[in-house]
Structure 1
Amino acid sequence: MIIVHVPATSANCCVGFDSLGMALDWWATFRFEPSDVLKITGCPKEYADKNNLVVQAFQKTCQHLHQEMPNFHLDIDSDIPFSRGLGSSSTCVVAGILACDAWFEAHMNKMEILKIATEIEGHPDNVAPCIFGQAVTSFMDQLDPRMMIVPCASYHGLAMIPDYPIVTNEARKILPKTLPYQEAVSQVGHALCFIQALQVGNEMILAKSCQDFLHEPYRKKLIPDYDKIHSICQDLELGMWISGSGSTMLALSMDLARLEKLKQMVEQESPHILCRKVRVASKGAWVENE
């Protein structure tokens, strides 16, 4: 049996739109074992067929390796919610690629794995931290993803997950086509300071640098709870952002007491929001054999 463990992720990290993602210590587990027919368990019935994203990623990797697609029993054990901005699709993509690599003992390197994952996902900002762990900044160089790991200080996080989804395509439609030059300059400055604050653990700068101009002013309209949560985080001097396209919001701090206070306030004011404590995952997806 091949077992693949893949972390949830938070893309964009407020000021890193489409270019910065973070692995979270919240794991999905995928088990693969030989079978006479394709069998999928552990997911809704509508996803239990050959169109399952894990299966599609496995098949694409077979093509890359020039191997025949085998039959297997795939069992999925994941409570990472769909359409909440926590990288549930990326976990499936990375799991399928790593499982195929292990199945055929191909020993692909991580950059090769990243390229296949990016071809499936369309961009590397979610799949890169899935593969490498920590925070990862990335961009596309023609058809090739380029990335750098951003080692993070000992941050804890609070994922605040509303009981309603956000469809990524709808979240993209709401974005503007152009941006004023001065806002672009401000975005660069905030993003550079944010990355440094992540590395050295400067919480004051982290909170101050969480001011986005590219997507959050527009996407927050899709999240009725955003303004209330954002105001609470500002009062507590906590860095906070919309995770991926939403609807999850993530706050980060090295002070567990402040995150606990945030959790209590959110649960009291918004009982429909699930709060889950997380940490920045120090490593990315990994494989074990049984």
Structure 2
Amino acid sequence: MNIIVPATSANLGPGFDALGLSVSLYNEVSIQSAKFSSVSINGEGSENVNLKRNNLFISIFNEIFTELTGENENFRVVFDNKIPFSRGLGSSSAVIVGAIASAYVMAGFKADRQVVLNRALTYENHPDNITPATLGGFISAVVDSGRVYANKFEVDDSLKAVVVIPNVAMNTNQSRSVLPKNYTIKECVNNLSHAAFLTSCFCSKRYDLLKIACKDMMHEERRMSALDELFEVRKLAYENGALMSSLSGSGSSFLNIVYANDAQNFRNKLAGKFNKFRVEIFSFDNDGFQIIQS
């Protein structure tokens, strides 16, 4: 059995811990029954020896598989990781969602997406990354009584994501530590109104209004201050016609949404200015995780 799980970009400006979308950058995991347990890692994390010994995917997978079957079995697990760690592209959510879905399938059950989503809350207590990793598309999600409720809208093929990926990691917990414990009414109203408007733009495909809709007053610039170049990324992005430019998750990556016809030229402009960073073009993923039976 193989599973692919997409990268995600969360928060999306004002949608702090509530809005997210998925892009066509994937982690793939192959799992097979074996006489002895083994782990191989290709791509991101392949040089980190500790990932084989202390692997979150393996831990979650074994926990749920044993819960479902009452058995401890051996598996050969091969990771092909494309999603960079600690860059605001949902690498941990991909691990969590992938491990849960895989455990259900290998235990002989259907990987029901709502079940996977609710179980994922045990390991990540906000829904903005785990939901697009599970469902794909653009999502607006809330948590109520331990259950995730989400509305999904497919992102149009006429759009591309141009993602700037700095060579600097940002730890989510450290990134949250720079945020204030209290916000003003003005800040709260700004984010409520803009998050609602941003959701309506994706719903109605009014992509021309995304620049107005994605304005944030709660977290984005506070987090961007850890890497001053991010302010320049956003400035250059809007000077070159970005429909939307916002910090991806807690950073350090920056998500830019452009029309597909403009993507290559736009990417070249950013890559020319920020030649120490990766600048990649991705389509949007509207499917979420996918199980491939071998």
The answer for the alignment partner of 1:94 in structure 2 is 97
Structure 1 residue 230 displacement after superposition: 1.0
The answer for the alignment partner of 1:251 in structure 2 is 256
2:216 maps to 1:212: yes
The answer for the alignment partner of 2:9 in structure 1 is 10
Q: What percentage of residue pairs aligned between the two structures are identical?
A: 24
The answer for the alignment partner of 1:180 in structure 2 is 184
Structure 1 residue 27 displacement after superposition: 1.4
Consecutive unaligned residues in structure 1, runs of 5 or more: none
2:34 maps to 1:20: no
> Is the partner of 1:261 in helix, strand or coil?
helix
User: Match of 1:3, as an amino acid?
Assistant: N
- Report the Cα distance in structure 1 between the residues aligned to 2:186 and 2:153, rounded to whole angstroms: 26
- Report the Cα distance in structure 1 between the residues aligned to 2:199 and 2:87, rounded to whole angstroms: 24
Structure 1 residue 227 displacement after superposition: 1.0
2:127 maps to 1:128: no
Consecutive unaligned residues in structure 2, runs of 5 or more: none
CA contact under 8 A between 2:237 and 2:270: conserved in structure 1? no
Structure 1 residue 185 displacement after superposition: 1.3
CA contact under 8 A between 1:139 and 1:145: conserved in structure 2? yes
Q: How does 1:19-98 map to 2 (within 5 A)?
A: 19-42=18-41, 43=46, 44-49=48-53, 51-98=54-101
- Report the Cα distance in structure 2 between the residues aligned to 1:148 and 1:264, rounded to whole angstroms: 34
User: Match of 1:172, as an amino acid?
Assistant: R
The answer for the alignment partner of 1:144 in structure 2 is 147
TM-score (norm 1): 0.94
CA contact under 8 A between 1:61 and 1:116: conserved in structure 2? no
Which runs of 4 or more aligned residues in structure 1 lie more than 3 Å from their structure 2 counterparts after TM superposition? none
TM-score (norm 2): 0.93
> Is the partner of 1:48 in helix, strand or coil?
helix
Pick aligned residue for 1:163 from 159, 164, 167:
167
2:232 maps to 1:241: no
Taking a change above 3 Å as real, the CA distance of residues 18 and 27 of structure 1, as seen in their structure-2 partners, is same
User: Match of 1:178, as an amino acid?
Assistant: N
- Report the Cα distance in structure 1 between the residues aligned to 2:59 and 2:127, rounded to whole angstroms: 17
CA contact under 8 A between 2:69 and 2:107: conserved in structure 1? no
Deviations 1:156-183 (A, max 9, x none): 1101000110011110000011111122
Structure 1 residue 204 displacement after superposition: 2.5
Instruction: Give the number of aligned pairs.
Output: 287
CA contact under 8 A between 1:150 and 1:195: conserved in structure 2? no
Higher mean C-alpha displacement, 173-182 vs 185-194: 185-194
- Report the Cα distance in structure 2 between the residues aligned to 1:96 and 1:223, rounded to whole angstroms: 32
- Report the Cα distance in structure 2 between the residues aligned to 1:106 and 1:34, rounded to whole angstroms: 16
Structure 1 residue 217 displacement after superposition: 2.0
> Is the partner of 2:128 in helix, strand or coil?
coil
Structure 1 residue 205 displacement after superposition: 0.7
CA contact under 8 A between 2:4 and 2:27: conserved in structure 1? yes
Pick aligned residue for 2:233 from 229, 235, 250:
229
Question: In angstroms, what is the RMSD of aligned CA positions?
Answer: 1.5
Pick aligned residue for 1:119 from 118, 122, 144:
122
- Report the Cα distance in structure 2 between the residues aligned to 1:29 and 1:211, rounded to whole angstroms: 34
